[in-house]
Amino acid sequence: MELQLSMVDGSVCMKDSAKSEISSERTLYPYVTGTSIIGMKYKDGVILASDTAGSYGSTLRYKSVERIKQVGDHTLIGASGEISDFQEIMRYLDELILYDKMWDDGNSLGPKEVHNYLNRIMYNRRNKFNPLWNSLVLGGVKKGQKYLGTVNMIGTHYEDDHLATGFGNHLARPILRSEWREDLTFEEAVKLIEKCLLVLLYRDRSSINKFQIAKITDEGTTIFPPYALKTFWGFSHFQNPSKGAAGTW
């Protein structure tokens, strides 16, 4: 059994003269995807929010996908993009946290460290032409220091006071740039997040009316159960839309 390097796409296949080639697999395009994640710092910590949809192209296949998860004691991670790659990332991160806990030395990995680890993973997979097809938001608090960072599938990463992925960058970030303040209380922060989630619900085709908010403070993490927002459709334009139209449609 010998290894053969294909110069076309860099994939490595095992070639056995008796058997046929088995080429190694890579993520070519995403299949089941999650849409935007919104994250922002507030007075006591960090809030992450997302909807719970898993789309299969234009089909809304899964309606209860948890796209925000806890990583260790100090971090929350929210993922958009390919859901199976997010599950793979959770395997990497859970293993990282486990080995850190096994040292049992009183230290624990904070959000900065987890973000750095994730940056390297995403960048290295991109270098091997086999990306984890995700845009991730990492938020956390450690010893009073709030942290919010993001990384995408090619390894671009940065931190800010408020972040979003996908459509959230276009629709939610402008609202946050205008209305975010350093000293938002939890209730005010949730109101601001809900304003962003509502815009995404109206304007992002792949979002659904089932949202999850998670908060992390020095005291701990809470991932709230999913809930729906009130929408308004009573615009005069939507009433009797075919009035004045010639023909049957």
Partner 1 sequence: MALRGDWMYENNGGTCVAIAGIDYCVVAADTRLSVGYNILTRDHSKICSLADKVVLASSGFQGDIRALHKNLAARHLLYQHQHNKQMSCPAMGQLLSNTLYYKRFFPYYAFNVLGGLDNEGKGCVFTYDAVGSYERVGYSTQGSGSSLIMPVLDNQLKSPSPLLLPARDAVTPLSETEAVDLVKDVFASATERDIYTGDKLEIVVINASGIKREYLELRKD
Q: How many CA atoms lie within 13 A of 147 on its CB side?
A: 23
Check if 27 is active-site.
yes
CB of 154 to partner 1, least distance (A): 5
Residues contacting partner 1: total by CB under 8 A: 22
Instruction: Give me the residue label for tokens 């080995």.
Output: 99
* CA–CA dist 208, 36 (Å, integer): 11
**209 near partner 1 (CB under 8 A):** no
- 182 touching partner 1, by CB under 8 A: no
Residue 135 found at the interface with partner 1 (CB under 8 A): no
Q: Which amino acid is at 178?
A: S
112 binds partner 1 (CB under 8 A): no
Q: What are the tokens at 58? A: 């234009």
Smallest gap, in angstroms, from Cβ of residue 227 to partner 1? Answer: 30
Residue 108 touching partner 1 (CB under 8 A):
no
Query: How much is the CA Rg of the chain, to the nearest whole Å?
Result: 21
User: Which residues in 20-49 contact partner 1 (CB under 8 A)?
Assistant: 26-29
Distance CA 52, CA 79 (A): 11
Nearer to partner 1, 73 or 160 (CB): 160
Please identify, using beta-carbon distances, which residue of 29 and 249 lies nearer to partner 1.
29
Tokens 């997979």 label which residue?
Answer: 125
130 near partner 1, rule: CB under 8 A: yes
Q: Which of positions 140-169 make contact with partner 1 (CB under 8 A)?
A: 154-160, 169
Nearby residues of 59 by Cβ (< 8 Å), 6 or more positions away: none
User: Shortest Cβ distance from residue 101 to partner 1 (Å)?
Assistant: 26
Q: Which is nearer to partner 1, 121 or 190 (CB)?
A: 121
Q: Name the DSSP letter for residue 128.
A: T
Q: Where are the alpha helices (DSSP H) in the chain?
A: 83-102, 111-127, 167-179, 186-203
The answer to whether 230 and 194 have CB atoms below 8 angstroms apart is no
**Hey, which residues are catalytic here?**
27
Site residues, partner 1 (CB under 8 A): 8-9, 26-29, 119, 123, 126-127, 129-131, 154-160, 169-170
